[in-house]
Amino acid sequence: MPYTVEITDILSLTHDVKRITTKKPEGYQFKPGQATEVAINKPEWKDEKRPFTFTSLPDDDHLEFVIKSYRDHDGVTNEIDSLMIGNSLIIDDAWGAIEYRGKGTFLAGGAGITPFISILRDLDRKNELVGNRLIFSNKTGKDVILEADLQNLLKDDFMSVLTREELEGHEHGRIDMEFLKKHVTDFSQHFYVCGPDKMVKSINEFLEKLGASADALVFEK
């Protein structure tokens, strides 16, 4: 069922990522980690739906999305980048396979952090965050979404990894087999993986080769 929601706030988080807050339809429900199909409420864009994850909590009185804009082509995210407070979006019911199943390591690439934001905030609110860890890969330091928030939330259990820049306070390189061997000691835990399809596929393969159970890998299939 489609719902039209008005944009109430827009905040730039990085050079190409914005947090968009909207009104919340009465009775609307989702679980931390879930997404919805989103379209822009303009005649020429209404049929162009794209999946975006909720970064708000289920019992918040608003909805929140963290959206990366790809300005090099004339697509939905580029159009979203030009929206203003008072414009509206069209959303559907919530869906998604990424949900918390127990303590483990979260591995995110770029905008793949979005389903984990709501999950980690929810765990923090329930005092269940301890024992979970986040490894977050980006190209450069300026690409790290909500770095201060994640650092504050997870403290020593947050690791930022940069693939194209060496910067103090960040690991450098790709999340490959050697990286996982070095930074993960327990492969019997849950692993939550989200990012570009190629990254998710390769990390899942590495984890299984290192002893992780396929049942313990949580990702959007």
Q: Which of 91, 118, 134 represents a domain boundary (last residue)?
A: 91
**What's the domain range around 113?**
104-218
| Statement: residue 74 has pLDDT above 80 | no
Are both 164 and 207 inside the same structural domain? Answer: yes
The CATH number given to whatever domain includes residue 154 is 3.40.50.80
pLDDT tens for each residue of 127-175: 999 999 999 999 999 999 999 999 999 999 999 999 999 999 999 999 9
Q: Using 50, 70 and 90 to split pLDDT, how confident is the model at 72?
A: confident
User: CA–CA separation, 130 vs 80, rounded Å?
Assistant: 36
pLDDT digits (tens, 9 = 90+) for 89-115: 999 999 999 999 999 999 999 999 999
110 and 73 within one domain: no
- Residue 122 Ramachandran class (φ > 0 left, ψ -120 to 50 alpha, else beta): alpha
